[in-house]
Amino acid sequence: MSEKTPSNWQQAIEGEWHGCPSLFEHDGTWVGTNKVSRASEFKDGRTTYWMDTRFDASGPLMDRFEIGARMEFGVIDSDQDRIYTGPDFVGSGRPYGLLVDSNYYSPGWNVNLRTVNHVVPELGMQVYSSQLFEADTLVGVFNGLYVVTQDHDSNPDTQRRVADWISKEKLDGKKPFNLPVKHEGVYRGEFEVYDANQQLVGSNRVTVHHRPVNLLHSEQTIELEGVINRKWTALRTRTGNQQQFHGPDLFGNGKSYGRYLYSVRHVYGEALKIWSRETVVDDDHTLVCVWQFLASQREQYTTFGVLRFEPGENVLAATYVE
């Protein structure tokens, strides 16, 4: 066997990852959790991905996804494509630095998955999600936050840290996606920008001005500076776990599954749209975002980063009749 070295992505995810993703029906109903330990291991020129799962859910999705066996499958590893060679998953993943966007099929689950894994060192976590499809029909969603360990089997302190993380994820996984409901403010952050050839071409400074109009509507202005220099304003509506964007610059909709919102926004008057996954990761409204730009229906840029909220005035304080 020829001598090989692991890809940059493979090196970035070294270790054993621990999480407890939530499981949602297609309409966003939370039905349970899946305690997971997993690792992608490079040895003797080969990469093997294994995953131990323990579902605790209700309804038919429990029977569908708890197959009662450890998952283990081969990976053709590279920084261009990670190709999954079965038997548990067949398909591929597309790495961009510390993010991989994968599309693959699970024979045991009979679903096609779009899985996005984003390692966020500054927050000490990996932000994970899988949208589960039968052809183009969404049948469920997994999502949750993971932490990595190098000594879980031998270190009691690490074991306690992981146990605390799992307990917190079981509680937080069902929290609804909510932006600040009453306070205006500004989200700020910096996103890495990759082109359609998966090359890092720079960064964007991202600013989002957020102002609630009432309890279900807010106005937002997104400004990008750097590789992409654009500015858009849209009225945003929330009804339960569904959202809409009413222009004047962006039109589209989204649906949330717990703390995760998946959206598509179309830029008015242009052949340009934005697919996004946005995740609320703490009580300070911090967002971990993936924004993918598609021009003329083709991938143009994939960008991702952390947005931190700077709260301003409470614009929906108590009202009175004197």
Contact 208, 222 (CB under 8 A): yes
pLDDT tens digits for 45-81? 899 999 999 999 999 999 999 988 999 999 999 999 9
Domain presence at residue 305: yes
Domain presence at residue 90: yes
Do 31 and 164 share a domain, yes or no? yes
Residue 61 has φ and ψ, to the nearest 5°, of -65, -25
Q: Do strands 250-257 and 298-314 pair parallel, antiparallel, or not at all (unpaired)? A: unpaired
Closest CA to 109 of 66, 50, 74, 68: 66
Place of tokens 């021009």: 295
Please, what is the end-to-end C-alpha distance for the chain in angstroms? 83
The Cβ of residue 17 has, within 10 Å, a number of other Cβ atoms equal to 23
The half-sphere exposure of 180 on its side-chain side, counting CA atoms within 13 A, is 26
Please report, for the domain that includes residue 213, its CATH number. 2.40.128.20
Q: What is the dihedral of CA 303, 306, 242, 58, to 10 degrees?
A: 110
Per-residue pLDDT, 3: 56
Do 160 and 298 share a domain, yes or no? no
Residues of the chain predicted below pLDDT 70:
1-3
pLDDT tens digits for 252-284? 999 999 999 999 999 999 999 999 999 999 999
Per-residue pLDDT, 273: 98
Contact 186, 177 (CB under 8 A): no
Distance (Å, whole) CA 134 – CA 209: 38
Do 79 and 115 share a domain, yes or no? yes
Per-residue pLDDT, 170: 96
Domain presence at residue 71: yes
If one counts the domains in the chain, the total is: 2
Closest CA to 30 of 226, 175, 220, 218: 175
Residue 228 has φ and ψ, to the nearest 5°, of -105, 125
Q: What is the dihedral of CA 181, 186, 188, 193, to 10 degrees?
A: 80
The residue segments making up the domain with residue 202 are: 183-314
Do 69 and 216 share a domain, yes or no? no
Burial of 279 by CB count in 10 Å (0-12 exposed, 13-18 middle, 19+ buried)? buried
Last residue of a domain, one of 151, 172, 193: 172
Do 213 and 166 share a domain, yes or no? no
Find the DSSP H helices in the chain: 8-12, 60-65, 156-172
